[in-house]
Chains A and B, each alone.
Chain A
């Protein structure tokens, strides 16, 4: 691959990332505290959804265990922060590395599997990993979990920007990580790695004949995807608690739903899907605001609607929201 090609991919990814950051900053300034916290959640889960987009959309491996990888990231950063008293700026990056190792182990097992075998095995992993918390109760504190939070904004930042609320701090903290994730994902998609992943996704034997080492590519896709999921998990835990109830199996399914709704092969789709999944309960509340609805209905309506959307997307418009927008590197 020529240098000019990869540098144009870098430039493109950088421009996308800058536009993304500016848009988020612009939007958040018009939001109230609740929606700022919601937007911070979008940024965190966006990183998780990207892990699905890369793994399933680009390299063609369906994993239902992304929530377990998020738990790996969450627990490792929380343990470092609590037991080693490390700052979150050290703990979170190291937890990405720990998750990448977990992804390597998972990928080596998974490279042998395909389709429903892979989906089922990763689903079992999603259930088994959180139960480790009760197995090693002295370190991982069982169902109680490990309390961690984002702390307070540093004084130099408040001096620079004026008073920063807790919600804004959550958002400012997630933004650089989300931007980094977007930059890396965009680069992968535009460059050689993405091309080889798409090749193994579309036709394994043809890709192998064209010189792609497909088992290595599959494992590498798992490692990258696990790093994304681990980062998302670490940030997700910083919202207050790291525990088995924070990373349930349904979290993996939420990420998958977000990726599919937006368009499983597109980065912009990953963001749109995450926005839909996070804000859907609020929109439903707005829509049924005038009617008397029991709590039972309002609790389960978002789940019902997002599941129906998922089925409809898969059956009617498998390419998702971003499907209409065809791009060169699909």
Chain B
């Protein structure tokens, strides 16, 4: 029973972070038609910025918000400097073929990932460093028993839920959110009805950048910070997004929790070595049974 509770709690807390990563992927996929494999590279970079600020005696919260802002800025810059010029090249020989149109932005995002990781290595050295948590990482004590649930876990889940709430409000209740949903639905029609699709695209990159930086800030206290640490988080987040449906923000969030729980139960009841194999099995299973993901809409892209 104790193992079960521990697996459940740790899975929920981890799942919240994967939900955030998956949400970041879904926002850029819907807004710009790109799966951004550089996402956790951006998160790693802004977490390093936060870590450097903390080492220079700034408070955790200043570092926290600077990192979120840096993540958003980086996302916007990547869109303006790399992805927008790329999509203007639709007539080039390489992008003229059906299959490569989807592949080339992926390759560009991998290049960005490599560049960010090498740059972080040059600036901050490759050695791992820790990253502080804003709340205690010791289990709650109930009647003398240490529970497998910490104040930091509560902080993680609360922050993620609050972020999801804000994102939902933004997309459903604001004019800008409406414009972004329209662009995701049909770019040409959105353009014709006066929406500046270039702006909404850049904005979705910025929002996704901030969300993934948040995920980086929340995941590093329990692991360590190095240029490559967040690669695995990206893979897991991608699986979560595909499980829930790349088109569906709600699906991404639920997918995040599903994947978090799967990983946690495999770790507790089996061995950590099987985690990747179980992720792969889950991914392949979903892609074979329901390729559009569990929660994707009817008009999803054919795969």
Contacts and interface: CB of A to CB of B under 8 A. Distances in A.
Contacts of B100: 60, 201
Given A121-B284, A253-B114, A315 B35 contact: no
A128 B287 contact: no
Contacts of B284: 109, 121
Interface residues of A, number: 54
A135 B274 contact: yes
Interface stretch (A18-26, A43-51, A300-308): A300-308
Nearest to B113: A307
A93 interface: no
Interface string A139-168: 000000000000000000000000000000
B114 A303 contact: yes
A256 B104 CA distance: 11
B89 A120 contact: no
A125 B282 CA distance: 12
Interface stretch (B4-12, B151-159, B231-239): B231-239
Contacts of A301: 118, 122
A114 B114 contact: no
Contacts of A121: 242, 283-284, 287
A318 interface: yes
B303 A260 contact: no
A303 B82 contact: no
Contacts of A311: 82, 108, 111-112, 115
B303 to A, nearest CB: 5
A134 B111 contact: no
A117 B99 CA distance: 12
A124 B279 contact: yes
A95 to B, nearest CB: 22
B89 A315 contact: yes
Contacts of B235: 120, 123-124, 127
A308 B81 CA distance: 12
Contact of B110 (A109, A127, A253, A264): A253
A201 B97 contact: yes
A115 B106 contact: yes
Contact of B35 (A119, A201, A249, A318): A119
B14 to A, nearest CB: 17
Interface string B267-289: 00000011111011001100110
A132 B277 contact: yes
Contact of A304 (B119, B231, B280): B119
Interface residues of B, number: 57
Contacts of B288: 109, 112
B169 interface: no
B107 A314 contact: yes
A86 interface: no
Given A120-B238, A127-B276, A202-B96, A299 B106 contact: no
Contacts of B106: 62, 115-116, 119
A60 B107 CA distance: 13
Given A300-B122, A311-B111, A119 B117 contact: no
Interface in A230-275: 249, 253, 256-257, 260, 264-265
Given A128-B279, A131-B273, A315 B303 contact: no
A198 B37 CA distance: 26
Given A116-B35, A300-B126, A314-B86, A201 B98 contact: yes
A303 to B, nearest CB: 4
A315 B82 contact: yes
Contact of B99 (A115, A253, A307, A314): A115
Nearest to A298: B122
B135 interface: no
Given A62-B107, A112-B287, A315-B108, A307 B115 contact: yes
A141 B273 CA distance: 14
B4 to A, nearest CB: 24
B280 A125 contact: yes
B122 A119 contact: no
A304 B115 contact: yes
Contact of B273 (A115, A134, A265, A310): A134
B132 interface: no
A121 B85 CA distance: 27
Given A318-B93, A330-B93, A119 B37 contact: yes
B110 A256 contact: yes
B92 interface: yes
B221 interface: no
Most-contacted residue by chain B among A109, A203, A314, A318 (CB, 10 A): A314
Contacts of A323: 93
Contact of B86 (A62, A296, A315): A315
A124 B98 contact: no
A89 to B, nearest CB: 33
Most-contacted residue by chain B among A61, A128, A256 (CB, 10 A): A128
Interface in B145-197: none
Given A115-B103, A117-B242, A299-B121, 20 more contacts: A64-B110, A109-B284, A113-B287, A119-B103, A120-B242, A123-B238, A124-B279, A124-B283, A127-B276, A201-B100, A204-B99, A300-B121, A301-B118, A304-B115, A308-B115, A310-B108, A311-B82, A318-B104, A319-B92, A323-B93
Q: Which 6 A-B pairs have the closest CB atoms?
A: A115-B102, A307-B114, A60-B99, A116-B35, A304-B118, A310-B111
14 contacts: A62-B106, A62-B107, A109-B288, A113-B303, A116-B106, A117-B246, A120-B37, A124-B239, A124-B283, A260-B107, A314-B108, A315-B89, A318-B95, A319-B93
